Structure 1
Amino acid sequence: MQRDEHGDRRARAGGADAAPDPMTGRLLDGRYRIGSRIARGGMASVYEATDLRLDRTVAVKVMHPGLGDDNEFAERFVREARAAARLSHPNVVAVYDQGDDEGTVFLAMELIPGHTLRDVIRKESPMSPAKALAVMEPVLSALAAAHRAGLVHRDVKPENVLIADDGRVKVADFGLAKAVSTDTQHTATGGVLIGTVSYLAPELVISGRADARADVYAAGVVLFELLTGTKPHEGETPIQVAYKHVHEDVPPPSTFEPGLPAYVDALVARATARDRELRPADAAVLLHQVHRVSHALAEGVLDDADLTADLTPLRMQVEAVEAPGPDDTAPEPFDSREFATLTAPIRTVSEPAPTPPRPAPPRPPAPKAEPPGRRRSRKGLVLLIVALLLLVAGGAGAWWFLDGRYTSTPGVLGMTQKAAERELEAAGLDPKAGDPAYSETVEAGRVVSTDPDPGSKVLDGGTVTITLSLGKERYDVPVLKDLTEDEAQDALTTGHLGFGTTTEKWSDTVAAGIVISSSPKAGTTLRPDAPVDLVVSKGPKPVKLQDWVGKDADDAKEWLKDKGLKGKVSKEEYSDDVDEGDVISMDPPAGTTVHRGDTVSFVVSKGPELVEVPSVRGQGVAAATETLENLGFNVETHDAPGSLGLGFVFSQSPGGGEMVRPGSTISLSLI
């Protein structure tokens, strides 16, 4: 499932009043039936769709309305299809088709149900080095395939790494990739930076030029994030973050997670070297280095000096050996060419231009002249002194302009504000309090950074801005119980926390769609964007009706009551087959699924309909028999004990006035 930069989950309706997406239900190019939107990015939205021609589910990326009118955007969109379609690799999201339906430019791609690496980072980072490298291996394999094909992704980030429900890892969105050309590598958008600023290589920030090593840098940043759970460079604005990518090295992951092997730090340093000449040439080389580190981890190696030295960028090794001491801050005022330029006029003075000869005037006797060699020696000495004086003066001037009028910013990190201000004022600088910032490592109220950085040159009397720490950035999980799912997600966003997953659960007490609980629970303190999972009610659990026909109606009503249902007798009927008080029929019938609060109606038997037996005592047998048979009774006769043969009814059974079923037999005793 594709998502945008912020890891948006599958799009949900914003409630009953939310405006329907105009794309949903539309048929693109007579082939793709657009379904629900599953992601939205800065340039396009992604929908789940059905390919009617091949009868399969795909993901369709549709450029936002209006952008298709911009030829530059449209051409880049088309390049995405052509570039990604050239890649056939199990770890690359496949691109099936590209088209333009009356100005709606779209791509048809492989649909990956699942989540993104951003979700994994939120839930599982910091990771162990072995697990982080295992996650990166398929990503680097996909990038290596692209680099072999002459393509640069240019937007490697966790949001573009999809993890299917079956565990497959896929790199998505080669929309910013372009074929590498040997004669030009300018930005694909005429100088506009493409890519997410947290993962931009320094050369992309400076010149917009990119090759495979820009992807290597971004992959190194993703690895850093897996190992530490945080991004290496943070800032209040994208420009501040981009500035740090250019001017600051990615810190060793072990500064955030102590105990990581030095060769893991070295691997990250090599991949994220600011000088791209020090990085691996492409993702295939970095993948080889990842395999070496993974092997060392699997062997349980805690320290491998040779592997660490091999991975550490060469320039960092040289700087570690040749770095000047803390007091050696003055640059060399001249190099050899500057010195030659400075002394050239001096050499001209020592060789004056010749003058025309003229007759020497008569002069009085003079003391014995000094030998010519001595005069030349003195003149050369004077010129040498002048040259040295000029050199010293020039050096002093250069020192003053290049270093003498500057002061090194004192290191005040970790100090209280007052202590830091005293230190800066003692150095002749003007301290100024800037906006405070959160810090994972510096306690609240102490200096987390300065501008300029410690050790940087600043003019005497210049201003140094102090940034005080607000402490660790943490937020409490709000009370989400009794909110709708959408309201709970909004509350998490407002509270700087992330939405994790939703689990639905039956509840007899909480209405459907309402949050039952959250994990972590309300009041738990978390890092920003930490995921919070929700348990949402599906309402009461449905009940499957038992068969109560032929059974006691009172028992049936008691069972329904225990299940939260209502039972009522809608009708009572005579029945020759069902005993009185038992159920003749029920509505809904047995086997039907009903919900809590529903009503089940019963037709209950009154038993068979009874008829009163008339008294026929004293009647002649013929008349008595006729009376009873006309009422539907059967008649049988027998002589009473001591019968006289008169043919009159002496007694009957059942007796007169008794209630019996129609068709019952009446026995007559004759006298």
Structure 2
Amino acid sequence: MDTTLQDPLVGQVLDGRYRVDARIAVGGMATVYRAVDTRLDRVLALKVMHPALAVDGVFVERFIREAKSVARLAHPNVVQVFDQGTDGSYVYLAMEYVAGCTLRDVLRERGALQPRAALDILEPVLAALGAAHRAGFVHRDMKPENVLIGDDGRVKVADFGLVRSVDTVTSTTGAVLGTVSYLAPEQIEEPGAADARVDVYACGVVLYEMLTGEKPHDGDSPAVVLYKHLHEDVPPPSVIAPGLAYELDELVASATARTPDLRPYDAVALLAQARQTRAALSEDQLDAVPPQALTTEHGNADDRTSVIPRALTIQRPLPVNEDEPEAVFNRTSRLEAPPPPPPRRSRAARAPRGPLIIVAAVLLALGLGVGIWYINSGQFTEVPPLMSKTEAQAKDRLEEAGLEVGKVEREYSDTFDRGTVISSDPKSGARIRHNDSVGLVLSLGPKTVKVPDLQGYPLDKARSELKEIGLEPGVVNREFNDDVTRGSVIASVPGTGTKVRSGSAVELTVSKGSPVDVPDVTGDSPADARAELEEAGLKVKIAPTRVNSEFDAGQVAQQTPAAGGKPAAEGDTVTLTLSKGPEMIEVPDVVGDSVDDAKAALEGAGFEVDEDRGLLGLFGDTVKKQSVKGGKTAPKGSTITITIR
């Protein structure tokens, strides 16, 4: 049974404008429909928040944030948002409709992709993310489900602006497991501190999945996957798909480094690396069919040059809007057309054939023959892939190729396990003479350093010491301490002597000095207040504005922090606000009124009321006199005495 028939929105018109035709997809926050803008007569996608969430202001704010974020991006590889609004309990976004499928659909049907197709998808994704990063925000949820591939080959990124916290992805549903597969380590450790490099990491994982047909880290639960992100490097794709060029291994390793500082700083930088990688690959390397590919018919021009082969079973029959601009990234149009043949020279223009030309041709043929014989006679061989192999494995591979191990050097690496190959000289894939040697650079593993003893160091000096030995100053906490000077380090986390990886952050706890009870100086003159506060070890600042108060003009009316609250630290500043004197307000005339009416009028004007009944007024109820005559002014809050007779 068609589930869309059960959807109450299908067939309705939202906001008097958007006719809902069919349901496309259902997510955790919203449902996406295919709709028609009846005002502009165009097909679009309508993302409607689930009504149960629409009553939550936080979800609505997040939903609207997506519209505002994407509205800032006029980029051909970003799914555009046209409108945002509400209709009763429905909160919606009107978005560009992309006829086609998601990258997840492609991977599900095709398995691993050829390197050319993987790069054809990755580059426009990075272009879209780069525009977002330069605009000042981060996607934070990059995954194949959010990469849309149109029937015309265009690639677009969806779901910008949706900030999701790590603590919402701990269930074991498939959708959640798919999300945690792309989380960068810092998103797990410090969810609020994620920057553009978390998108770089996710794109590296997506590239790995496109090249191998599987995720780099798997497990029975999200917790297992999260643990692997924190403690295991993403392996080189060539481990799963032998034959991939080492440049692709390097691109994945660069994007998925567990230490953020070792990754490209944003998607623009990664895009530059991706283009350099493409330029370094030969046509055969770009078109290599990985063993994990589920479809191997790639011999025609369409398969070689389009972003994704068209023979996908996932069909979205609705047309793309006709008025949309031509895709900026269209490799088909650039690559399918063969280069024009060189102009043929006419007979009249040809040089006369003579004996010298015949001799040159014979010599050229002989030279070519000798060259071909020399190359094919076993004089040259190709350096095999060695990255991530142990020294013994690399030696075996080189011996199998008829090569020897040359100079072996060692370097620290956060990406490669200790004892594995970081690089070779010449690089993998290079042709060298048989029996030549190949130099290797092996990993020493992550460089570790001991956390120094920083107790008693001023904060600036402690930070300098950490940077000098390759560590990063981390979060600074402050607490009272009677023994350590204000502004100096009390302790660090990790503690003194702990071995940590180079580049790790060290949390510092800094002394606020001894606690100081803030004295009450309200009502004092500024000079007396300053003397008392400075004697207590505090600094004083006079606020530029004054306020009305019960105190005389020029005296201290308010202080921040107030007395009696939390103790301050020695050297903290107390801000004093001086008085303009009491606020003078007009006194109501209550003579002749009843006691109750008089009190109500005076108290309502801001005065206190005192009754003077004397002996004659014990049983009276009429005001015969008031201490300040009606129409005169008196300080707000002062007491007005009424005489009753």
**TM class, shorter-length:** 0.3 to 0.5
Larger-Rg structure: 1
| TM-score normalized by the length of structure 2 | 0.44
- Greater RCO, 1 or 2 (C-alpha within 8 Å, sep 6+): 2
| TM-score normalized by the length of structure 1 | 0.43
